[in-house]
Amino acid sequence: FTYSTPTQQHNTHTNTHTMEPQIRHYTKADFIETKTGNKVSRQSVLCGSQNIRMQGNSIIMPGVVVRGDLAAIAIGRFTTVGKNSVLRPSYKRFKGDIAYFPTQIGSYVTIGDSCVVAAATIGSHVAIGANSIVSRGCVLMDCCCVEPGTVLPPNSVVPPYSIAFGHPVRIGGELSEGFQEEQEMLAMDAYSSFRAGP
């Protein structure tokens, strides 16, 4: 599963809405499909699954680790977590101890392969490119983009319609007004094109 951010796709295609999504087949025995349509790889690790809430129509790819054993993690609809990524709650140090806090991830979020995400909050319509690190306490507002390979230091805030990129990170650029609709469509296509093989 390779994911290109909407800004990359916009640069290569003039109109992403007319493109048909490429069908990606998976072996049915390799994924668990829940009543709400979530597709969770049997090769993923969901620690503390009773603390992991997925609203539906989301995909957890092979090699993903979700650390619900540390604190609650809520994931919205049509969210894809790419291969070998790690989702864990945000934390703070208090007098030598570590306190973990619940994490909220919105809907229509795409997290690329091999990311480490410990954000406090990720809004809806957010694209996180492959090999990115979103450190503890970060807040990614609705409709923003983290380019591949970006490292967000602790407690960073990525405002709506902005792009975070690089290491050290820079936050700039401005996403088009159509980004929300484009990201929603990409997230829904990622789900609908991911089908059990024949």
pLDDT at 190 over 70: yes
Question: Which residue type sits at 144?
Answer: C
pLDDT digits over 2-21, tens only?
444 544 444 433 344 456 67
Give the 3-state secondary structure of residue 182.
helix
**Residue 52: band (very low, low, confident or very high) from pLDDT cuts 50, 70, 90:** very high
Nearest CA to 13 out of 142, 171, 172, 186 is that of 186
- Biggest alpha carbon distance in the chain? 56
**pLDDT for position 130:** 98
Percent pLDDT > 90 in the chain is 82
Nearest CA to 90 out of 118, 66, 115, 111 is that of 118
Burial of 56 (0-12, 13-18, 19+ CB in 10 A): middle
Whole-prediction pTM? 0.89
The secondary structure element, H or E, covering residue 186 is: helix 179-192
**pLDDT for position 95:** 86
The secondary structure element, H or E, covering residue 100 is: strand 97-101
pLDDT digits over 143-162, tens only?
999 999 999 999 999 999 99
Cross-strand pairs, 104: 74, 121
Average pLDDT of the segment spanning 23-51: 95
Nearest CA to 79 out of 158, 140, 138 is that of 140
Cβ neighbours of residue 108 closer than 8 Å, sequence gap 6 or more: 76, 77, 78, 79, 124, 125, 126, 183, 184, 187, 188
HSE, CB side, 13 Å, CA atoms: give it for residue 60: 27
Q: What is the 8-class DSSP label of residue 143?
A: S
Nearest CA to 143 out of 179, 170, 117 is that of 179
pLDDT digits over 105-145, tens only?
999 999 999 999 999 999 999 999 999 999 999 999 999 99
Average pLDDT of the segment spanning 155-173: 94
